[in-house]
Structure 1
Amino acid sequence: MTEDRDALAAQLDKEHVFHSWSAQAALAPLVVAGGLGTRVWDHSGRTYLDFSSQLVNVNIGHQHPRVVAAIQEQAATLATIGPATANLTRGEAAKRIAARAPAGMDKVFFTNGGADANENAIRMARLHTGRDKVVSTYRSYHGNTGAAIVSTGDWRRLPNEYARGHVHVFGPYLYRSEFWATTPEEECERALQHLRRVVECEGPQSVAAILLETVPGTAGIMVPPPGYLAGVRALADEHGIVLILDEVMAGFGRTGEWFALDAHDVVPDLIVFAKGVNSGYVPVGGVVLSNAIAATFDDRVFPGGLTYSGHPLAAASIVASIDAMAEEGIVDNARKIGTDVLGPGLAELAEKHPVIGEARGVGVFWALELVADRATRAPVAPAVMGRAKAELVSRGVIPFIADNRIHVVPPCVVTADEVAEALAAYDAVLTLLDEELT
């Protein structure tokens, strides 16, 4: 009977669900019936370690009882209300988010997710400055709405370039440096000079915003070198440019900090968030505004809004999630696991397996970059990544695969024993890939 439910789920998906970022005909998605903590399972009871956190958003783990109860209680009290009203739960959610942001950022604009949060951050920057252009990096992902997808640098931008005023630069990425750098210091200095020259050539008076992921996620989990974000802040200040930091993937515990920016001595003008703020239990995102930008709209209408902005169910899940993360030490756990267990374990794999070109990351936000040849750093073929994914799933681990990388991104509640279990599966699969490539 349970196997029939798995088959029915697969059949209904095939017949009626249109999937994102995919050619539809060959899809055979994993059936997931339930989950708890770092594990999910199908209807027949086979369990998997979720080292993808789905889309790197289930930071607090699956089915956290406190968050589930908060959603249930809110649904019984007030399931929905319009954004023009004042609602206590919404206010409490905004208060908690602002409390984790840098000083001088007291207001929150709620959206339905990360893409429209970036969309509205760009709108705010343009209206605040009276300028048009937005500078972002080629190695980035900011969402699949009009301006957000054009701010994105990867291949998904190309079929969707309908928005105006977007300029791209290369950010720091020492392993594949665009600047012939050999040290983090060189990479930082040269990437900043490159950014400066692009801004100068575009005309600083025309640039509304610099939009960066604090730690680029889907593009490769590239922790910026010391001083880079502070240098960007200084450049933005020099020319009156708004600095937007996209923390959709990196925020709320993923890097072992409440916001990834906390480790980089930088205060942006706008912070974009989603995903980890409530682990995706209810769709939500938003923008944290500096007081200066918020004041722009004290006597001027902000021409943006969404029917579900600050939805009560989403707000309740945010309140419960942030409170649980604080009281249960979940952010601290992510930092400790990264420093003491996951980081060292991945470094050992990198030393052992020639197929790994680099292991990099922080907290529970890591990537293994796979190469066909360490000397040339040539990426492995897509078929190799397909094999890696299939082999990991067969061993009970759900991976996050992007280009030639395995992103190791478990929930922030992951334990040392669960990391060891996943590392054993990675080790076995990487051994197979080593043998095939040699």
Structure 2
Amino acid sequence: MSNEAQVRADDRAHVFHSWAAQGRIDPLPIERAQGSYFWDYTGRRYLDFSSQLVNINIGHQHPRLVKAIQEQAAKLCTIQPAFANDKRGEAARMIAEVAPGPLNKVFFTNGGAEANENAIRMARLHTGRHKVLSTYRSYHGATATAITATGDPRRWPNEPVAIGVVHFWGPYPYRSPFYATTPEQETERALAHLRDTIVFEGPATVAAVLLETVVGTNGILVPPPGYLAGVRALCDEFGIVFIADEVMAGFGRCGEWFAVDHWGVVPDLITFAKGVNSGYLPLGGVVISDEIAETFRERPFPGGLTYSGHPLACASAVASMQIFKEEGIIEHARSLGEDVIGPGLAELAERHPSVGEVRGLGVFWAIELVRDSAGTPLVPFNAAGAASGPMNDVAAACKERGLWPFIHFNRVHVVPPCTTTAAEVREGLAILDGALTVADGFYAS
């Protein structure tokens, strides 16, 4: 049996895949990856415009990051979290140094879902309240409270799981739930809606507002001007903890260390994962304000993980942040968004009637596809089966041309590694240009 055949056989016989009906999938075996590309066993190369799950910010197989993991493995593979460890402390210090405002402590987790679980726990204990407000069109993870806080259909089959989560509408100017006609009006009405939600839920019962700074999988929804500052003000007014979920948006993805830096807003807690070490090893965490950390000075924090602050993972985070600084990756990501991706997508929108809107920043962009001038989505919300056919066709057209896309509902997300070159981005945009003719075929002029 060939290598590819063995990989495929073992996968089909023994691997249980996430978010999938097991008998209806046929995962592509991947042999290797480097930089912005990966290869299957036939030697076919794909430009990774998905960054896998929007986490390979530093690119595949960065040699310095691989070497740092190897060196740490030779020195100390693991030690439990109750001990102090050089790489754990160094990673925490480096994260605190780039975090905004007085956020100086880091609680390490194995990923983003656990980060959100623990941030919510901290907020509830700090305030003595139990409710958490989060938006529709959000994703916060697949563990109990995180999936309850999630505002997309992945929550539905998991209900009921946790209590105390209330959903509200966040801003989305292109499809405004508030019938706003300008970004400023969207901000004003979205903040009024959040205030009403807090008031009618009872401010004394609300522990936290949990927001993806820039909504990720559910649309790359960049908050309109003044919105995050308004949320911060509401949280201050009612004594509510502001949790910024930067699992996807942080560590260069939006052209800053943390996406909140675009708006100069300081949350009380920031959750992170993915880009902190580009998923080379499982790692996430919560960056904690001094005020909330003080709550647990004499009071034990009732949470922990066997692999919290795992030395191998923390060594990879230290190396990754050093590479980001020394190779100018934050600045490069910002430049790609401003000079290459943004203008390139605007050109595609001019050429393809099926493109309703493009939006984003850094290397975090979405193309929203529509089927008519009224902006009807190319496929319905939560489309499955035959209803999702047009988007499946667009994805297939990308893959046939050597581009691996990130597709969700009626959108193609343009989210390559932060290290992708301008030439590679243009290569990917040229492939998208061809694939979008498939979407145009469903457009009713």
TM range (shorter): over 0.9
Task: Map Cα deviations across residues 12-52 of structure 1 (whole Å, 9 max, x no partner).
Answer: 21111111111111211222111111011122321110000
Deviations 1:134-169 (A, max 9, x none): 000011000000100000000011121210000000
Listed as ranges, the matches of 1:99-118 within 5 Å are 99-118=97-116
Q: Does 1:253 align with 2:259?
A: no
Structure 1 position 219, deviation (Å) = 0.7
Structure 2 letter corresponding to 1:86: A
Superposed, which structure 2 residues align to 1:209-358 within 5 Å? 209-358=208-357
Give the structure 1 partner of residue 382 of structure 2.
none
1:9 aligns with 2:15: no
Shift of 1:377: 2.6
User: How far apart, CA to CA, are the structure 1 residues paired with 2:414 and 2:367?
Assistant: 7
Aligned residues: 436
Partner residue, 1:50 = 48
After TM superposition, the structure 1 stretch with the greater mean CA deviation from structure 2, 4-13 or 70-79, is: 4-13
Match of 1:373 in 2: 372
Residues in 2 aligned to 1:218 and 1:237: alpha-carbon distance in whole angstroms: 28
Establish whether residue 74 from structure 1 lines up as the match of residue 80 from structure 2: no
Q: Distance in 2 between matches of 1:337 and 1:192?
A: 31
Alignment of 1:431 onto 2:430: no
% identity of equivalent residues: 65
Supply the distance in 1 between the matched residues of 2:58 and 2:215 (Cα, whole angstroms).
21
Shift of 1:329: 0.4
Matching residue's letter, 2:201: E
Distance 1:245 1:432 in 2: 37
Task: Give 1:200's aligned residue.
Answer: 199
Deviation string, structure 1 residues 321-360 (Cα, Å, up to 9, x no partner): 0000110001111000110001100111111111111111
Calculate the aligned-residue CA RMSD, in Å.
Answer: 1.0
Runs of 4+ residues over 2 Å off in structure 1: 376-381, 435-438
Cα distance in 1 for partners of 2:366, 2:317 equals 28
Contact 2:378/2:391 (CA < 8 Å) preserved in 1? no
Q: Give the match's secondary structure for 2:271.
A: strand
Whichever residue aligns with residue 371 of structure 1, its letter is V
Partner residue in 2 for 1:40: 38
Match of 1:63 in 2: 61
Question: For residue 152 of structure 1, what is the aligned residue in structure 2?
Answer: 150
> Match of 2:110, as an amino acid?
N
* 3-state SS of paired residue (2:24): coil
Distance in 2 separating the partners of 1:8 and 1:374: 49
Give 5+ residue unaligned stretches, structure 1.
Answer: none
Unaligned 5+ runs, structure 2: 380-386
1:436 CA displacement? 4.2
User: Deviation digits for residues 184-239 of structure 1, max 9, x if unmatched?
Assistant: 00000000000000000000000000000000001100000010000000000001
SS of alignment partner, residue 370 of structure 2: strand
Q: Aligned partners of 2:264, 2:255: CA distance in 1, in Å? A: 15
TM-score normalised over the length of structure 2 = 0.97
Whichever residue aligns with residue 186 of structure 2, its letter is E
SS at match of 1:66: helix
Structure 2 residue aligned with 1:406: 412
Q: Paired residue for 1:30, among 28, 31, 51?
A: 28
Instruction: Tell me if structure 1 keeps the 8 A contact 2:378–2:390.
Output: no
Aligned to 2:137: 139
Distance in structure 2 (CA, Å) of the matches to 1:27 and 1:391: 18
Mapped contact 2:390–2:442 kept (Cα < 8 A): no
1:432 is displaced (CA, Å) by: 2.4
Per-residue CA shift, 1:117-137, capped at 9, x if unaligned? 000000000000000000000
Q: How far, CA to CA, are the matches of 1:10 and 1:405 in structure 2?
A: 29
- Report deviation, 1:394: 1.1
Partner of 1:420: 426
3-state SS, counterpart of residue 302 of structure 1: coil
